[in-house]
Amino acid sequence: MRLSALKYILLFLAQAALWNYFNFSQYLVVVFLPAMILCLPIERGPVYAMVVAFLTGLAADFLVTGQLGLTSLALVPVALVRRGVIHLVFGGELFSRGEELSFHRQGWQKFVPAVLLVTAVFLTVYIWADSAGTYSFGFCALKFAFSLAVSSAVSVAIAFLLLEETSERWK
């Protein structure tokens, strides 16, 4: 098993443990799964990313004993817009040169907006589906704002861990 796959599995288990054992507030959802989907290899297409997102979300819901399918519902759109976000934030040269994302080459200045975008997509769908019209717009907006701020900060650190360059040299 490659080191990146092992990191992905360990971080997924950390996300499940975080949701199971640390319920900070009803106004806060700490999630870094969108950043994990963003950090998947670029050479893989959107269908691969959507399948991984669906299976990751389904496994998360199963382990957390949440509403089965809720996380998958929110992660699949993240995988769908992932390629567009990468093109928008990091530029098209990653695709033309066949490079992978690298936290050290692109820097945190580019990762922060990318993580903000994918986390915002996830939280929009997740909070909308989770509330199912039972909470007020103000409550949902407040939950979105708090969750986006905290989750994005955590997600940038997770992206750094996932994309950490070991002994491999980039192209």
Separation in Å, CA 129 to CA 7, 102, 120, 154: 29, 33, 14, 23
pLDDT of residue 78 exceeding 50: yes
The full set of domain ranges for the chain reads 3-162
Separation in Å, CA 120 to CA 62, 95, 100, 114, 149: 23, 24, 23, 10, 10
Radius of gyration of the chain (CA): 16
Section 108-127 average pLDDT: 92
Helical H segments across 22-64, by residue range = 33-38, 46-64
Q: Look up residue 169 and give its DSSP letter.
A: P
Which residues, in sequence order, are bridge partners of residue 25?
28
Section 11-24 average pLDDT: 87
Query: What separation, in Å, do the N-terminal and C-terminal C-alpha atoms of the chain show?
Result: 22
pLDDT reported for residue 171: 46
Write down the architecture of domain 3-162 according to CATH: Orthogonal Bundle (1.10)
Give dist(CA 147, CA 143) in Å, integer: 6
Task: Please choose, from the candidates 105, 93, 89, 109, the residue with its C-alpha nearest in 3D space to the C-alpha of residue 156.
Answer: 109
Lowest mean pLDDT among 49-53, 114-118, 119-123, 134-138: 134-138
Q: Are 101 and 82 in contact (CB under 8 A)?
A: no
Q: Place 127 in a pLDDT band, splitting at 50, 70 and 90.
A: very high
